[in-house]
Structure 1
């Protein structure tokens, strides 16, 4: 009976896992397949995953500046996402370390207050942020998006890094201080190397939020030359060049940077939590 129950549980687990994978992967497979299908095959019934006559015409159209300025939108998104993630990580490192290690009046109140930002949806913050951005003279600039995305991702980044910093043994930091290291030297020489997986994870999180965000970008950006990829993809719907295959090709190209980023830093995420923390 025990063997049958165990086998039944494994079968149920595998079936549920396959359903979840299908639910997650089917949209991506459809997107990639449609990007290579000629226009006449887009509405073919029954639909085929592998097109009969694969073509690159949709990618050629997307990369044609006269049809869709993809490279310009890509550059804008890359600049905004990279600076947003980088600045957010730097602020999070020092803020999270203060929450995890330093004792000062009001620390717990500030820490909980930061997380309270997530009680309010993005729609509720659009108007006050718009007023602040306009008064600072930053409307229709990439800087407005960088500031907004840093504010948007900072609470979770602080929470994630703060919890990770607490897992770093205090004895290692105390030994470094006894050896004459300052608090900043402890952060750069001890805490950061041991927290590389968490820092990389926070960077990827902040980068993805900034890369895919649409609401604030649609409010703060007016010039077509400063549009990010989400805005550009939305505008493609309303042009004479709109076709399903071209939309799917643009979506595939938009997803590639995030995939490359994740694959390039995967070893840091799966690395040891205390690598290098013990002297040999």
Structure 2
């Protein structure tokens, strides 16, 4: 067998494996999509079908009906919590990552190593101490409680990721900026941040995804339905006596849509950011 034939067979095997992986991964989402267009009777039929026999958009209309599912209220709450916590985590992460990357001070390596230890513990371990802090501050059942919680969850990873991006920026650029009279804060926001914009976007998207998809802390720190985020709101929809599968699938797909759109819009930045974060300049 020639080298070209082996190369061709290897390429065919790779694409077949990739196609199989995509089918296995995307098939559940395809079933969700098709179920969202089925009537309630057809969705629970003893003889299931892949494609709906009678297509309907009623489930999508229902989830935007406030008397059935206050989607827009939950969407607003999730958006406020996700955007605010992500912006705060990225802003604080910029300052912390810059200090660990560019400044030299006693204990820097110890602090840097401590971020690896964060991954050893599950988020459930923080529930009790965070609950005590939040109730003591009097912000239980508020969006602020969830924002603080999401910042504590994403900040260590934000600092760790941003430090990798800042490490790729040559020190000579900052030295030249200092000779031009810029101070540290000016260097951060005029030099470092623009050069690491791809890394900032990827970190922001990561923080947004964590906050948007959070169920554990939202279900514990929120008790009023008016303050529920989408994951908690979806759980109430799944707990209704009338199990309308099409409606639940439609709500789940629409809930996942903002993250998909955000990732699609920022894909170019995320790819370049991941590459830059893995190479020292």
Normalised TM-score (structure 2): 0.92
Mapped contact 1:115–1:156 kept (Cα < 8 A): no
Deviates most, 265-274 or 4-13: 265-274
3-state DSSP class of the match of 1:68?
A: coil
Q: Give the Cα–Cα distance (whole angstroms) in 2 for the partners of residues 13 and 123 of structure 1.
A: 39
Structure 2 counterpart of 1:219: 220
1:203 aligns with 2:204: yes
Structure 2 counterpart of 1:278: none
Q: Give the Cα–Cα distance (whole angstroms) in 1 for the partners of residues 18 and 214 of structure 2.
A: 29
Structure 2 counterpart of 1:74: 75
TM-aligned CA deviation for residue 204 of structure 1: 0.5
TM-aligned CA deviation for residue 12 of structure 1: 1.9
Structure 2 counterpart of 1:277: none
1:269 aligns with 2:251: no
Q: Give the Cα–Cα distance (whole angstroms) in 2 for the partners of residues 201 and 30 of structure 1.
A: 30
3-state DSSP class of the match of 2:266?
A: helix
3-state DSSP class of the match of 2:55?
A: coil
1:173 aligns with 2:140: no
Structure 1 counterpart of 2:279: none
3-state DSSP class of the match of 1:65?
A: coil
Unaligned runs of 5+ in 1: 275-280
1:79-90 matched pairs, under 5 angstroms:
79-90=80-91
Normalised TM-score (structure 1): 0.92
Instruction: Give the paired residue count.
Output: 274
3-state DSSP class of the match of 2:111?
A: helix
Q: Give the Cα–Cα distance (whole angstroms) in 2 for the partners of residues 49 and 79 of structure 1.
A: 37
Q: Considering only aligned residues, what root-mean-square deviation do their CA atoms show, in Å? A: 1.8
Q: Give the Cα–Cα distance (whole angstroms) in 2 for the partners of residues 219 and 30 of structure 1.
A: 31
Q: Give the Cα–Cα distance (whole angstroms) in 2 for the partners of residues 78 and 188 of structure 1.
A: 26
Unaligned runs of 5+ in 2: 277-281
Structure 2 counterpart of 1:91: 92
Q: Give the Cα–Cα distance (whole angstroms) in 2 for the partners of residues 179 and 63 of structure 1.
A: 56
Q: Give the Cα–Cα distance (whole angstroms) in 2 for the partners of residues 268 and 10 of structure 1.
A: 29
What CA deviation, in whole Å up to 9, does each residue of 1:136-176 have, x standing for no partner?
A: 21211111111111111111111111001111122111111
Deviates most, 188-197 or 43-52: 43-52
Deviates most, 126-135 or 209-218: 126-135
Deviates most, 260-269 or 127-136: 260-269
Structure 2 counterpart of 1:64: 65
Mapped contact 1:133–1:139 kept (Cα < 8 A): yes
1:184 aligns with 2:171: no
TM-aligned CA deviation for residue 270 of structure 1: 4.7
Deviates most, 193-202 or 27-36: 27-36
Q: Give the Cα–Cα distance (whole angstroms) in 2 for the partners of residues 221 and 262 of structure 1.
A: 27
Q: Give the Cα–Cα distance (whole angstroms) in 2 for the partners of residues 249 and 233 of structure 1.
A: 11
Q: Give the Cα–Cα distance (whole angstroms) in 1 for the partners of residues 102 and 272 of structure 2.
A: 24
